[in-house]
Amino acid sequence: MKKAELVFIPLAGAGHLVPEVEFAKQLLERDDGRFSVTVLLMDSIFTGNFVTHTLYKPLAESNTPIRFINLPPPVDFSPSIDAHKSIEKYMVEFIDSHKTCVKEAIVKHVISSSNSATLAGLVLDMSYASMIDVGNELGVPSYLFFPSTAAFLGLMLYLPTRHDEVGRGFEEFDGELMIPSYVNPVPSSGLPEVLLNNYGGYATLMNLGRKFKETKGIIVNTFQELESHAVKSLLNDFDHMPPIYTVGPVIDVKGRQSDETEKADEIMKWLDDQPDSSVVFLCFGSGGSFGEEQVKEIGFGLEQSGVRFLWSLRKPPPNGKFEGPSDYKSDNLQEILPNGFLERTKEKGLVCGRAPQKEVLAHKSVGGFVSHCGWNSILESFWFGIPIVTWPMYAEQQLNAFQMVKDLGLAVELRVDYRITDGEVVSGDEIARAIKCVMESDNEVRKKVKEMSEKSRLAVMEEGSSFAAFGRFIDDVLGNMP
């Protein structure tokens, strides 16, 4: 009997590529007899092939039975005038320009190849919803992988409905907004910056939201017990919805990314020497970095808190352009940190570059996490039972922070509407207060996060909610095969 082959097309970004490839791995581990997977890798408009090369190369060189195919860049990409006003519109036009090479790659490597598999469908990143057109041309169903929250998915689905009613985009001073997938009114000031960009960003997300309903199903990296209100909203508040599969948390709890510093072993050894639950970990994702003034305030806040710390400190990209991870050299740290900081804190803290986040969060000495609120990071913190201090920066992170603090009571608020592009400096006093709060042993948030940790692990076990949703996805893929 021929295997059912799924073609995955992930976005070239750590927050997308990592969970989507991990989902593909879990699919094969769970039902290896009936499935095979091909992953098409498209260069990023921001980083070229840096992200895909860094993240997928170790997998490609391992025994993982996934076939990776690099797509050639389009030869005739010509962005519109409006695309130069909106990164999101530019990205969608760039993605659309790949439709021909995506179709050719699938025909060549899957449909016309001699392998013993039948094309069962496409699994598309949320940003690649326009590739549904390619699936339709090939006569196969398309499924969406949504690597963020069910609540944010609800917002994107709500955008077309709201636009039909209001006739315009959002303004920063609209005030509180009633969005069905969130429990509490959402302040317009805390919306992702893209939704406040009426030069194309807002329209781009709205059009994606319309397109989502054309899929045969939406895979969401969350679990029922965490986002019960949002999941219920997806099922009840929207017409003509495809099936929703809440299969999370989809995280590789064992692996270490190849770019997670050669000093990882040194970091882990330092943690081994610290008391249990005594260290606060500061880490702000693959794109998270601060200017010198903010770095100094973080240093002041850490000293004032008196808490042991592990600080993953990254260098801001030159000219605002992301060119891959960049760590400070040890002799540069003295220049950007408060005068004498390293000497005064040498018994209590460690400043490093990139850190192996999952290993750090799993370590018994870690008791708190100051985070940018990327969804992967939040899921990892729940898995290991580590409460978060919210410091969102970009993308949908403000909404993630709002949901964790206001809707769910699962995080300590430092900020929920901070944007790195605003240039605001958070004071050391604020930082110290939030760190001391999250590290309190009897903190109510800590207790709730421990409970959610247990629920996250039960969800993916046999008879758990996510395990069952994964099974429904498998059954539906096989049932929808052409």
**CATH code that applies to domain 264-456:** 3.40.50.2000
- Asked whether 39 and 45 are in contact (CB, 8 A), the reply is no
Which pLDDT score is estimated for 322?
47
pLDDT at 309: 98
Burial track 291-305 (b if 16+ CB lie within 10 A, e otherwise): eeebbbbbbbbbbeb
Long-range contacts of 69-78 (CB under 8 A, 24+ apart): 69/38, 69/39, 69/40, 69/41, 69/105, 69/109, 70/41, 71/40, 71/41, 71/42, 71/43, 71/98, 71/101, 71/102, 71/105, 72/101, 73/43, 74/98, 74/100, 74/101
Residue 345 neighbours by CB under 8 Å, 6+ apart: 302, 303, 309
Domain ranges of the chain: 3-248+460-479, 264-456
Options 2.70.210.12, 3.40.50.2000, 3.30.565.10, 3.40.640.10; CATH of 3-248+460-479: 3.40.50.2000
- How many Cα atoms within 13 Å fall on the side-chain side of residue 368? 29
Query: Is there a shared CATH topology between the 3-248+460-479 domain and the 264-456 domain?
Result: yes
Instruction: Give the separation between CA 314 and CA 372, rounded to whole angstroms.
Output: 13
Burial 18-32 (b: 16+ CB within 10 A, else e): bbbbbbbbebbeebe
- Tokens coding 255: 């692996």
pLDDT at 1: 63
> pTM (2 decimals)?
0.94
Q: Which amino acid is at 397?
A: Q
C-alpha Rg value of the chain to the nearest Å? 22
Splitting the chain (482 residues) into consecutive groups of 10 residues, what average pLDDT does each group show? 90 88 93 88 67 57 79 83 80 90 93 82 96 97 98 97 91 91 95 82 92 97 98 95 97 66 86 98 86 94 98 76 56 84 95 93 98 97 98 94 98 94 93 98 95 98 97 96 88
Q: How far is CA 249 from CA 20, 80, 227, 345, 447, in A?
A: 12, 38, 12, 36, 20
Cβ-Cβ contacts under 8 Å for 193 (sequence gap 6 or more): 201, 394, 419, 421
- Taking CA atoms, 235 is separated from 97, 152, 244, 327, 404, in Å, by 33, 14, 8, 44, 21
Backbone dihedral region for residue 250 (phi beyond 0: left; psi -120 to 50: alpha; all else: beta)? beta
